[in-house]
Amino acid sequence: MVRDKRYYFIQEHMPEEVFHGSIGNMDIEKVLLANGVTPLRFPFHHSFSFWAKWGRLGFLVIAFFLLPRDAVVFFQHPMYAGMNKILVKLLGYRKSITIVCIIADINGLKHGDEAVLQKEIRQFRTYRYFIVHNLAMQQWLQSQVPHQRSAMIRFFDFLTAPDTEQRTNSRSIAFAGNLEKSGFLDNMEAVARHCPSLTFNVYGPHVTTRMKACSNVKYKGVRDPYDLPQVLQGSFGLIWDGEGVEQPEGSMGHYMQYITHHKTSLYILSGMPIIVYENAGAAALVSQYKIGITIRSLFEIEEKLQALSDTEYRQMVHNMHDLATQIASGACLGQALQEIKLIIQRDQK
């Protein structure tokens, strides 16, 4: 791939060992590379020696002064490495350089921390260009940063092969993710009483004893994220967060309304129609593309599935095919990159 010497990104996540939860960040960087964006990666990334610190300082100075005056620099928010944060802040003083913030997460909303949120909003207000998850996040950003200009990815790219096995309609539901954020799984016995025909195949780290004790939960362990589309068992994929089973509760439940979960892409690659909370950020996409159903409560699932015919189920699976191809090839972020580049070009005329 020929690199366009106008476009750069701050590389923070690659190459690293894959841990569940960081795969979305890593695939973003892979897509940026595939689209000819040049990486800026500090040397001695994991060393804290005297010479490593001097090496990083030298790289900081070189990057600040030698980036071309019309450079466009992408970075993922939130950033964690101190030098990366300093570089973005310094580049803000070079007014001819355009900075594009790719919002992967908003930690203040995610963790219900108002102080962190206000700090993030102040940071967002120093930028003009963004790539966001979906319309709900775009509208939230517009309310906080009125001058913002943004493009949407809609779905996270997930650079692994889609599952080719044809799913069949049943009452078996998959849920995959960091179970530490999924306290509702501790209370699935209440769902079992209301919806006795449902079973939930659960994948991910931090399972609790209470989760495994629920009669309708089958814990399947931790798998390599890139293998998950091939190994998920079930007919549907569930998107739900927080503590409650009647509705999402807590900060994670609140955060659902702004984001497109990475597991949305996982279920699409798996060919599993999606069951999602009706006010989640991904719900509008699920309805738009006719790839699943929306619910107000987990107690509604059984009734909704009983009303779904096999023909309707097969159509949902079919509707996922083109999306799966796009997601597996990096086309979602790829399209957003082209959109934000056009916006920047128009603004600079």
How confident is the model at residue 63, as a pLDDT?
72
Are 87 and 64 within 8 A, CB to CB?
yes
User: CATH second-level architecture of 7-157+330-348?
Assistant: 3-Layer(aba) Sandwich (3.40)
Q: What is the pLDDT of residues 290-303, one digit of tens each?
A: 999 999 999 999 99
The tokens for 298 are 């987990």
Q: Class for domain 172-328, per CATH? A: alpha beta
What average pLDDT values come out for the chain (349 residues) when binned by 10 residues? 78 61 88 94 59 59 79 95 85 92 97 97 98 98 98 98 94 96 95 97 96 97 95 98 93 95 98 98 98 98 97 98 98 98 92
How confident is the model at residue 13, as a pLDDT?
81
Q: Enumerate the H helices of 159-306 as residue ranges.
A: 188-194, 209-213, 228-231, 250-255, 262-270, 283-288, 301-306
The SS3 assignment for 40 reads: strand
Neighbours of 333 (CB within 10 A): 24
Token pair 């692994």 in the structure block, residue: 160
User: What is the spatial distance between Cα 9 and Cα 321, in angstroms, rounded to a whole number?
Assistant: 31
Are 203 and 178 within 8 A, CB to CB?
no
- Matching CATH topology for 7-157+330-348 and 172-328? yes
User: What is the spatial distance between Cα 28 and Cα 51, in angstroms, rounded to a whole number?
Assistant: 30
Asked if the peptide bond before residue 162 counts as cis, ω within 30 degrees of 0, the response is no
Q: What angle do CA 247, 320, 156 make, to 5 degrees?
A: 65
End-to-end CA distance of the chain: 28
Neighbours of 172 (CB within 10 A): 18
How confident is the model at residue 1, as a pLDDT?
57
Domain spans of the chain, in order of start = 7-157+330-348, 172-328
